[in-house]
Structure 1
Amino acid sequence: MALCVLVLLVAGFLLWRLQRNATDHQQDIDASLPPETYCGPVILVIGDTAPLFGELKHRETRLGWYLNVRQPAELPALVERLAQQYPALLPQLSVMLAIIPGQHTSADVLVQQQGGWLRAVSECRVVLKGLPPLCAVIWGSSVDERTHWFSYTPDHSQFQFHPENDARLSLAEWVTRDPLHFHHALRLQSLMQWYAGQFAASHTASPCQIGVCLTPVPSLPGNLWQQHAVGLTTLSPENYASPPSLPLPDVLLSVMPQRQGISRWLLTARRVGMMLGLFLALAMLASFIHNQRLVRSVADHLALWRSLPEDAIAAKMLARDALIHDRSLLDAWQRSGEPLRFGMGLYQGMRLSAPVNTAIHRWSPPPAPAPVVQQVVQGPQTVRLDSLSLFESGKAALRAGSDKVLINALVGIKARPGWLIVVAGHTDSTGNPRLNQALSLQRAGAVRDWMRDTGDVPESCFAVQGYGQDRPVATNESAEGRALNRRVEISLVPQADACRVPDAHTRSSQDDGHSQSEKE
């Protein structure tokens, strides 16, 4: 999720930057630039552009979009602007070097100008990541009013003639069609000699195509073409005082780049897609690693369980508990869905459930041994009575209403053979210790007498003891502690010869319940 948010933030930032750059450069966008959706070749025309464009910044034809570049310094800036605003047009971009010999009178100046233009083309290497396709086109004077286009490419051994509608013809084939074409061929050969002699060897970038247009060309007096023609034939070519607009080389655009590049939005979408793809790859890698860890963990538990012998009960149970824990996790994930870290279609838990369940059900711990039942001999039972609830302070006679307290407290104290009923009296530390001992003995005797008379229990079933203040159960420093120490305790103590009832007609209510008539 964090990576997803990061990708969205980066994508939003890139879109904002693109929009801001488009806004910042909106005022600089020239109306002469083609739209980004333009599909044809985009030609940057350099060199002798004035006879081709006049005052126009661009010319659009059916087959191409021509941009007028007047100065060498404008070429790298225009290419960079196109790369920023219309990157989709870069694959369609090419450079056309226009050469019109009739517009120049000095060969040195022309060579110097051509060198400046070629250096400007080389400066576009960084922006375009290589040199753009270069085409050199020469406009020479024709012997008639018609326009003839020729081209020379490295894949053809000779010039090709380009009619407007028909297929291209070789120069030799074209010359045989009309006697006048022989004069054009001579003019073409002479023009190429001039081109090679002037500056063809100085081109640092080899043109992908050389085009020649034989058409009426506006010429200056004493231009380079006239100088060349006079040197060959001593004849002066015709001059045109009012220069017409020269034709553009649409018929030569077949070798120019025709493919369409990637727009800014498509490029941004590609970057976002790459980021999302990277995130997906990382997520799948993380899911694969987590699933492999799960498989290794369960496999280790299964291997440990299988390696333990059957008689290693404790270790076997620990290994089985680990498998049970694994099964509970796998079952929970099967019901509610696996965690995200195991997702992306790589979850391996389904194939782990079967071997884990098989291992768990194949072995179970042996049953625990039956517990040994031992007969427990009941020890002494002790009933503790509060002295103040039975006696007045310092008195040994039972107070009125104490019968109810004694009856409720002594329900579990029954006389039976082999058990001695011990009645012990206790006091707190207040007063004379000798008097306290005597008082505790008298109170124990009073309780013994009540039990004897009320339950018709023989005298032999009782033992009376008076401990005074010698056996406290709490501290005598507080009123609560002293109240606990003032007590009478009645206990059943095993004694073999205790409570032996002689054969007599009188039987205790604690006997086994047989009547006198049954005895007789």
Structure 2
Amino acid sequence: MLHAVAASAVVLMVSVGVSAWSNSRLVARVANDLEVYTHIPTARADAKRERFEALRRHSAELARYASNGEPTGLGWGLYRGKRLQVALERVTATSHSPSIPAHSPPFAVTIDNFLLFDSGKTTLKPGAEPRLKGVLDLIRANPDKRILIAGHTDNTGPSVANQKLSEARAQAIRDWFVNTASLPVTRFAIQGYGYTRPIASNENRQGREMNRRVEITFIPDSGTQ
């Protein structure tokens, strides 16, 4: 009995220690990107934009934890993601993505479907607008770019249904941009890929979450160069 209690105590101590270490790493990673982004000169648009998108990815990751619960490795009452999420959303909501150089190659912004749509739905969630407004700022700042909106899913469910779902979501986002900013619909192209272009394994939950995404690609308009 004593051995079992001792073993349980050791496991608990190790788990708490791992959580403390993991939370420290999370805080350091996010804080570093915030610090670097703040100090990159506006003239370095590429570097500024790259770090800005890293902050958005951090924000999406923490938003998933807030909805689904933080991973076990970050638990035991030590999770500090809520404060980080507030700091990230303050920066990404009030800062504009830097403009893209006129002759740069295509550049994509990726948004987690969870932040935009409820499961299986094609109507934008009320909380989607702050995410899309940041991309809209980038679209407005780059009138010489055409916009490709591509929807992607994981491999759960029939392929035909996933393809239709991904295309309908891309169209919903296109329509929001057009209606919100009175942009010409001809500036946009939409595509649904279903689960045919995964960026992670569909064999685990984390991989499936990464695959459920929308990619908004800025493409130089050959007619303006």
Where 2:193 maps in the other structure, the secondary structure is: strand
Question: Greater Rg, structure 1 or structure 2?
Answer: 1
Residues 461/409 of structure 1: CA separation in 2 closer, same or farther (3 Å cut):
closer
Q: What residue is the counterpart of 2:56 in the other structure?
A: none
Which residue, out of 111, 114, 117, partners 1:391?
A: 117
Q: What residue is the counterpart of 1:379 in the other structure?
A: 105
Tell me, yes or no, if the aligned pair for 2:150 and 2:166 is still in contact at 8 Å: yes
Q: What residue is the counterpart of 1:424 in the other structure?
A: 150
Residues 401/379 of structure 1: CA separation in 2 closer, same or farther (3 Å cut):
same
User: How far apart are residue 411 of structure 1 and its match?
Assistant: 2.9
Offset from partner CA, 1:90-124 (integer Å, 9 cap, x none):
xxxxxxxxxxxxxxxxxxxxxxxxxxxxxxxxxxx
Mapped partners of 1:461, 1:402: distance in 2? 22
TM-score (norm 1): 0.23
Amino acid at match of 1:494: P
Tell me, yes or no, if the aligned pair for 1:415 and 1:457 is still in contact at 8 Å: no
Tell me, yes or no, if the aligned pair for 2:102 and 2:144 is still in contact at 8 Å: no
Q: What residue is the counterpart of 2:173 in the other structure?
A: 447
TM-score (norm 2): 0.51
User: How far apart are residue 490 of structure 1 and its match?
Assistant: 0.5
Percent identity for Structure 1 against Structure 2: 44
Residues 410/479 of structure 1: CA separation in 2 closer, same or farther (3 Å cut):
farther
Tell me, yes or no, if the aligned pair for 1:383 and 1:410 is still in contact at 8 Å: no
Highest relative contact order (Cα 8 Å, sep 6+), 1 or 2? 2
Give matches, 1:81-480, under 5 Å: 377-414=103-140, 416=142, 418-480=144-206
Number of aligned residue pairs: give it.
124
| Greater fraction of residues in helix | 2
Q: What residue is the counterpart of 1:324 in the other structure?
A: none
Which residue, out of 478, 481, 495, partners 2:221?
A: 495
Structure 1: stretches of 5+ with no match in the other structure: 1-374, 499-520
Where 2:110 maps in the other structure, the secondary structure is: strand
Amino acid at match of 2:130: K
Tell me, yes or no, if the aligned pair for 2:106 and 2:219 is still in contact at 8 Å: yes
Mapped partners of 1:382, 1:490: distance in 2? 5
Mapped partners of 1:436, 1:386: distance in 2? 16
User: How far apart are residue 409 of structure 1 and its match?
Assistant: 4.2
Offset from partner CA, 1:251-292 (integer Å, 9 cap, x none):
xxxxxxxxxxxxxxxxxxxxxxxxxxxxxxxxxxxxxxxxxx
Mapped partners of 1:471, 1:434: distance in 2? 14
Which residue, out of 486, 496, 501, partners 2:212?
A: 486
